[in-house]
């Protein structure tokens, strides 16, 4: 059958309109299905396990070691979410309900003890009306790891278990609510894949927000490392300002966040942010890949917890090299990648800290 030139042109236009040829839309769709939804699903499952662990431990069906393992898994899953904290998690004060950091005045310990003194028979409803300081993983970590608390002691276990159970339930409900906000028909996942919508007029806006979240998260990693190193206190180490200092998981959390950031850069099938860089920007892509590799390897090579590394000159030198590596990664995203993609970053959540 012979088609007229006009007919062929119209057919070509129709096929083009039906295919997601917009590179930004392709990347946003690929990241949503291949990276972001799996990250949120893993977080939800870790919090489900945490809630079950609290019940099991407090009914003497689980050991303290097992309870601590469930907590560190939930904490790591939360760290992995942070480079993907767009949409629902960034709204409604939710992130503060998961983790209170930095805790500059030991508010967690003080408020936990005050709460339990006032409500020794604490219920989940009581916790829901309480401060975010006592609702999240930082308070749960205090219960499990603080040297002043001995959960092998029956009396102390009876005192702290109601709060442990309440936090587990609160975290599970919060993660379930956020995941549902992603998965519903008109939810966050749909908004990152189909444009225009009530959140994004076009795919470029979605990609820009994903990059802004990346940049903010990597900058946040610098803060989580730099604060205990004393970079904001004239070089005087502040080990108790470290994230997760009680559980010695500060560097483990950094590694989990970094891994998520790298997944968003690479994509599940090499279809992440990097796919927006053409062959004329191969050198920038190579430098970003190398920066991720360098930071990842430095974290993997750390053989001691952050607190121990802060205690001697060799350890501090190792941490300074890690900080410099993170800084290079941050600057590559903040300056060169954003500029190359034509994205204005604007306000950073960590500015002024």
pLDDT at residue 6 greater than cutoff 60: no
- Tens-place pLDDT, residues 163-192: 999 999 999 999 999 999 999 999 999 999
Task: Say if 234 falls within a structural domain.
Answer: yes
Residue with the bigger pLDDT between 213 and 14: it is 213
Is 353 within the bounds of a domain?
Answer: no
Q: Which residues are CB-contacts of 318 (< 8 A; sequence separation ≥ 6)?
A: 298, 302, 309
Q: Is residue 282 part of a domain?
A: yes
Confidence band, pLDDT 50/70/90 cuts, at residue 18: very low
Q: Is residue 14 part of a domain?
A: no
In CATH, what number is assigned to the domain containing residue 116? 1.20.1420.20
Q: Could you give the percent of the chain with pLDDT greater than 90? A: 89
By residue range, what is the domain housing residue 105? 22-341
Helix (H, G, I), strand (E, B) or coil at 235: coil
What does the longest C-alpha to C-alpha distance in the chain come to? 88
Evaluate whether residue 183 is within a structural domain: yes
Is 40 domain-assigned? Answer: yes
Residue 353: pLDDT above 90?
A: no
The answer to whether 218 touches 333, Cβ cutoff 8 Å, is yes
Quick: pLDDT tens for 294-314. Answer: 999 999 999 999 999 999 999
Average pLDDT over the chain, rounded to whole?
93
CA distance 107 to 251: 23
Q: For the chain, what is the domain count?
A: 1
Q: Determine, yes or no, domain membership for 6.
A: no
pLDDT reading at 351 higher than 50:
no
Looking at residues 245-253, what average pLDDT do you find?
A: 97
Structure tokens at 42: 């893993």
The verdict on residue 8 lying in a domain is: no
Q: DSSP characters for 81-133?
A: HGGG--GGGGSTTHHHHH-----TT-HHHHHHHHHHHH-TT--HHHHHTS-GG
pLDDT in tens, 312-328: 999 999 999 999 999 99
Closest to 210 measured CA to CA, from 352, 90, 309, 311: 90
* pLDDT at res. 4: 52
pLDDT tens-digit map of 206-224: 999 999 999 999 999 999 9
Question: Which residue has better confidence, 232 or 160?
Answer: 160
pLDDT in tens, 95-122: 999 999 999 899 999 999 999 999 999 9
Neighbours of 263 (CB within 10 A): 20
């Amino acid at each position: 059958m012979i088609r007229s030139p006009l007919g062929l042109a119209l057919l070509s236009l129709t096929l083009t309109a039906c295919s997601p040829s917009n590179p930004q839309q392709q990347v946003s769709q690929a990241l949503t299905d291949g990276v972001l939804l799996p990250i949120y699903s893993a977080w939800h499952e870790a919090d489900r396990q945490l809630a079950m662990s609290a019940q099991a431990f407090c009914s003497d069906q689980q050991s303290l070691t097992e309870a601590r393992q469930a907590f560190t898994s939930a904490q790591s899953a939360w760290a992995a979410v942070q480079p993907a904290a767009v949409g629902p998690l960034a709204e409604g004060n939710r992130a503060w309900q998961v983790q209170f950091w930095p805790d500059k005045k030991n508010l967690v310990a003080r408020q936990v003890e005050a709460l339990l003194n006032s409500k020794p028979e604490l219920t989940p409803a009581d916790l829901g009306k309480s401060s975010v300081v006592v609702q999240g993983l930082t308070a749960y970590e205090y219960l499990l790891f603080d040297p002043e608390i001995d959960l092998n002691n029956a009396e102390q276990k009876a005192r702290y278990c109601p709060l442990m159970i309440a936090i587990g339930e609160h975290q599970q409900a919060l993660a379930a609510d956020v995941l549902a906000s992603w998965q519903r028909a008109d939810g966050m996942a749909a908004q990152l894949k189909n444009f225009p919508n009530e959140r994004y007029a076009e795919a470029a806006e979605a990609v820009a927000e994903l990059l802004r979240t990346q940049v903010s998260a990597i900058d946040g990693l610098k803060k989580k490392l730099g604060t205990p190193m004393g970079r904001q206190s004239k070089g005087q180490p502040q080990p108790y300002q470290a994230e997760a200092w009680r559980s010695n998981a500060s560097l483990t959390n950094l590694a989990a966040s970094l891994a998520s950031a790298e997944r968003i850069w690479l994509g599940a099938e090499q279809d992440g942010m990097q796919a927006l860089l053409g062959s004329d920007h191969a050198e920038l892509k190579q430098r970003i890949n190398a920066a991720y590799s360098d930071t990842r390897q430095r974290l993997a090579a750390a053989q001691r917890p952050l607190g121990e590394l802060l205690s001697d000159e060799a350890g501090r030198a190792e941490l300074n090299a890690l900080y410099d590596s993170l800084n290079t990664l941050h600057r590559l995203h903040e300056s060169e990648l954003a500029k190359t993609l034509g994205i204005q970053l604007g306000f950073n959540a960590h500015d002024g800290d």
